[in-house]
Structure 1
Amino acid sequence: MKDAARQCFAPARPGAVIGCGARNQNAAALRALLDCLARGLPIHASQQGIRPATPDPAPFLYCQSSGSGGRVKTIRRSHGSWIASFEVNRDSFGLSAHDRYGVLGNLGHSLSLYATLEALHLGAGLLVLAGDSPRNQMRQLAQAGVSVLYATPTQLRRLQLAGGPGLPAVSHVFCGGGKLDDACRDGMAALCPNAAIREFYGASETSFITIADAGTPAGSVGRAYPGVRIRLGEAGRIFVASPYLFDGYHEPDLAPPPREGNHIGTGDIGWLDAGGHLFLRGRESRMVTVADRNLFLEDVEAAMAAAGAGPCAAIALPDPQRGHAVIAAVEGAQDDALAARLRRACRDALGDHAAPRRVVFLPRLPLLASDKPDLAALARLFGAAP
């Protein structure tokens, strides 16, 4: 692998961009990105757009975390830390200038920005469709003959709900930013019958950590991505070393992640099987105590999703008797029968302590730009500290 610290993103080849969606939500951001690449300038990307990151010299990139922890963080990384994985993906999965990439999210989200830069760096075609309706996205993906799709699970579910004749030209689906459940995976297999579907686990600070494919055991997020070393610390805390790590936070008041040697902590809890497959328990910050038992709120969300909840999230409120009380938020109209089914599913899968005290139905679940549930907004809605 080349010296990651000295590499720069390649300028886009003429004609690489084949579309920017009907609503052109990212047209200005894409033009600014292409200008930075052409002039060799460092890049600063956020939900407000893309601009040169002055006065820092190239080759640096600033992007933002999803804010799922309650605060958006500005990530500083070298161009080479992403280029290293562009080259791994090219060599491992056969990606090339002959591909056409489809990007469904806002370029201020690191997953969408990563996919865009990978396409441009490899000389591939690019179609950015942020802000378009799922039906329009499906139509444009099909018309353009997109072969590589980067998306979150939420974005993939929306494509499936849009319907249509399918996307037979897609040969690679890369899914990140959340857990790809079996129903969503099966739906994408039907929608893209010729595609290899790969789920990856990572973070804005680490980029790729693991990658899963059709041969990965159920419930696992896969084995270590090439070049990544995983170490489990006390209580299953996940630490990672790799060529893809960020350089630090731009905000001076933010403490860096914990370290063990050259490994940084991810904030997640998990375990490894004998074959090196990683299984996640959840975020350490989302583990709460209910009736003297530890509970990962991600487990509650998974149980509800398996029971047919659709878009949902769980938060915990302080409770003087039980430590915490679980509140579930579900997108949709009030449905008492569904609420009872979700409580029963959580109780059956996890125990009585995991059954939500309340199931609240919302017309629209608040989402971050990354399409993850906005847990801080839900906490404020239900009167809890974010």
Structure 2
Amino acid sequence: MAAPARQQRQRTALSAKGQEWFAPARPDLLIAAGQRGQNAAAIATLLDCLERRLPVHASLSGIRPADDIPAPMIYCQSSGSGGRVKTIRRRHASWIASFEVNRVLLGVSSWDRYGILGQLGHSLSLYATMEAAHLGAGLVVLAGDNPQAQMQQLGDTRVSVIYATPSQLWRLQLAAGSGGLPDVAHIICGGGKLDDACRDGIAALCPNAEIREFYGASETSFITLADSRTPAGSVGRPYPGVNVKLDDSGRIHVASPYLFDGYAEPDLPDLPRDEAHLGTGDIGRLDSSGNLFLSGRENRMITVADRNLFLEDVEATMRDAGAGLCAAIAVPDPARGNAVIAVVEGPADDELAARLRRACRDRLGDHAAPRRVMFLPRLPVLASDKPDLAALALLVRTEG
């Protein structure tokens, strides 16, 4: 039984190569339960656009047909983690190609049901929604609901596939209480690093789920995929169809059928390209088995006392030391070049602050220890639920 089913999925994937237009496989299965008016209206508009073969424009303001855009195109928004939300232009085929990879990889069928935690204007949520529709799976969009309500709906509707960011998963497992989600079979996490504490919490919450992290961006879609067999600290091996290469400085470039076409904003330059390869803005290294290890974003590398430091390393160290949701912000320092300010979600905790400084000093060096640890009741976040680094930087500098 298993082999013929797998062969059928492979034949379906091959037959979809070069497909230009996305079309829902089973529109009747899309709205399962738990929809709020705004989410249901967005899904209805999305389906209408697709059925009428109109280009789709998705943003935080909602979903609308884009009569002014050449078809078949999708416009969606980046997370804004770089300081500005960008409008991504991509062809339907660039997502359809990975839908078919995931059909085989995850074994998704019409019996599955996807849970979407984020706003449909963000590319990760829109991608997951359209993948569910393409594969004929059910769909529960829970954007805007609090984590407790999301937990309830995920359980009541027996969701089996969840696409989410680390922040969304962190808040979900904090809201879990004594409940669990035994029907969840696949968790696909993107948009940041899933720390060990959150991974353990989600594994306990969803005991039957395979947790996969992917490294990618709105512009590139999937680049690498990590699972339970991936070495610690790695973001995994290249996703099927992706070629990753590094230059002499460790800058990561990627070529694949999943790349975007460019930005809609005319003042935004395209990302740097080397023939077929697109520069990601990240720095990393590959091991002998092809596993990619990220050092961090090139624009988040700072110099402290003549030593280079990636702020992502500080954040990862703090999370491992029990910080939970946190961010590291650089501020100018006349003597050392820069200093690090840590911002942590939660009540003030002197003992935790001391533990975070000590952990950074022990793992990364004295230069990485935060000068100050600020506590906020709730971190400001973007539509993707990533920490809003620009807002945090302004807050840190305003408070001195």
TM-score computed with the length of structure 1 as normaliser:
0.96
Residue 250 of structure 1 deviates from its aligned partner by 0.6
Asked if 2 retains the 8 angstrom alpha-carbon contact of 1:77 and 1:247, the reply is: yes
Of 136, 142, 147 in structure 2, the residue corresponding to residue 129 of structure 1 is 142
Structure-1 residue corresponding to 2:259: 245
Question: How many Å separate the matches in 2 of 1:297 and 1:139?
Answer: 35
Letter aligned with residue 185 of structure 2: S
Partner of 1:70: 83
Partner of residue 202 from structure 1, selected from 202, 213, 216: 216
- How far apart, CA to CA, are the structure 2 residues paired with 1:257 and 1:88? 25
Q: Provide the residue aligned with 2:280 in structure 1.
A: 266
Q: 1:158 aligns with which of 161, 171, 175?
A: 171
3-state DSSP of counterpart to 2:155: helix
Paired residue for 2:366, among 352, 358, 362? 352
Where do 1:86-101 residues align within 5 Å?
A: 86-101=99-114
> What is the CA–CA distance in structure 2 between the aligned matches of 1:235 and 1:353, rounded to whole Å?
22
Q: Select which of 308, 316, 323 maps to 1:294.
A: 308
Distance 1:57 1:222 in 2: 35
The answer to whether the 8 A contact 1:13-1:120 is kept is: yes
Matches within 5 A, 1:300-379: 300-379=314-393
* RMSD of Structure 2 on Structure 1 (CA): 1.5
Check the 8 A contact 2:245/2:253 in 1, yes or no: yes
Q: Encode CA deviations 1:44-79: one digit per residue, 9 max, x unaligned.
A: 011111111122232100011100010111100000
The 5 Å alignment of 1:197-236 reads: 197-236=211-250
Separation of aligned partners in 2, 1:346 and 1:207: 32
Please list, as runs of the form range in 1=range in 2, the aligned pairs for 1:48-87 lying within 5 A after superposition.
48-87=61-100
SS at match of 2:397: coil
Instruction: Count matched residues.
Output: 384
- How far apart are the structure 1 equivalents of 2:27 and 2:273? 43
Letter of the structure 2 residue corresponding to residue 59 of structure 1: P
8 Å contact 1:42–1:52 — kept in the other structure? yes
- Where do 1:101-140 residues align within 5 Å? 101-140=114-153
Q: Contact 1:20 / 1:26 at 8 angstroms: preserved in 2?
A: no
Q: CA deviation at 1:26?
A: 2.1
User: Could you say what secondary structure the match of 1:383 adopts?
Assistant: helix
The structural deviation recorded for 1:382 is 2.1
Q: What SS does the aligned partner of 1:173 have?
A: strand
Deviates more, 1:305-314 or 1:11-20: 11-20
The 10-residue stretch of structure 1 (92-101 or 14-23) with the greater mean CA deviation from structure 2 = 14-23
Q: Does structure 2 conserve the Cα–Cα contact (< 8 Å) formed by 1:22 and 1:132? A: no
Name the % identity: 73
Is 2:37 the counterpart of 1:13? no
CA distance in 1, matches of 2:27, 2:376: 46
Q: Which residue of 1 aligns with 2:8?
A: none
Cα distance, 1:363 vs structure 2: 1.6
In structure 1, distance between residues paired with 2:275 and 2:17: 20
Q: Distance in 2 between matches of 1:55 and 1:4?
A: 27
1:193 equivalenced with 2:204 (yes/no): no
Aligned to 2:39: 26
Unpaired runs of at least 5, structure 2: 1-13
2: CA distance, partners of 1:165 / 1:357: 39
User: SS of 1:370's equivalent?
Assistant: coil
Tell me if the contact between 1:170 and 1:194 (Cα under 8 Å) persists in the aligned partners.
Answer: yes
Query: Do the aligned residues in 1 keep the contact of 2:77 with 2:87 (CA within 8 Å)?
Result: yes
Q: Deviations 1:268-298 (Å, cap 9, x if unpaired)?
A: 0000011100000000000000000000000
Deviates more, 1:249-258 or 1:220-229: 249-258
Alpha-carbon contact 1:229-1:242 (below 8 Å) kept? yes
1:149 matches 2:162: yes
